[in-house]
Amino acid sequence: MGKGEDTKAAIVDQALNLVSTVGLEKLTIGALASATGMSKSGLFAHFDSKEQLQLQVLDEARKRFVDAVIAPALKKPRGEARIRALFENTMQKWETALPGGCVFSAVAAELDDQPGPARDYLVEVQKDYQDVVKRAAQVAIDVGEFRKNLDLGQFAFEFGSITAAYHHFGRLLHDSRAEQHAYSAFEALLSRSH
């Protein structure tokens, strides 16, 4: 990487940390300039617009999610072990990777009614992950670990609901038992899937 690319990567890294705690809309060039110690004009040199900055932050979050959650899980044996790895990586690696926890959860409510490229990108990322979970469940069916009539859409919905609830109860409500409840719900989901 050249110096300009290194600087841009450092800016996106700082922006991602900010977004996890304050959201995309509050990620302004001014706030980012303060956080990075750069001038506003210096930041503008790296990004054409606030929208472009937002998209690059979400893209960096997606890359980190793949590296922390999906890639390691794909190294696990096919079936339930892979599904467990997806869940545990989400809980242990992803939810703790940024100051505000899961950046996708942090911005989902902010973007759900805001049409535009950032929302479209977030939806794409979330649907892609839902597909990963569905494929992993289908493989668990194929290898005989899950029942053949398992509703893959329902399984992916409940899987995502558990991690979303963990973020909500743990981050917003500071429920000290949020992690315990999430793991119990996950075990119940697996049990119903056999």
Element (H, E) at 110: helix 103-111
Residue 27 token pair: 């990620």
Domains and CATH numbers, the chain: 52-193 (1.10.357.10)
pTM: 0.89
Q: Torsion-angle region of residue 101: left (phi > 0), alpha (psi -120 to 50) or beta?
A: left
d(CA 131, CA 153): 9
pLDDT in tens, the chain (194 residues): 566 677 788 888 888 988 988 888 888 777 787 877 887 777 777 777 788 888 999 999 999 999 999 999 999 999 999 999 999 999 999 988 888 888 998 899 899 899 999 999 999 999 999 999 999 999 999 999 999 999 999 999 999 999 999 989 998 899 999 999 999 999 999 999 99
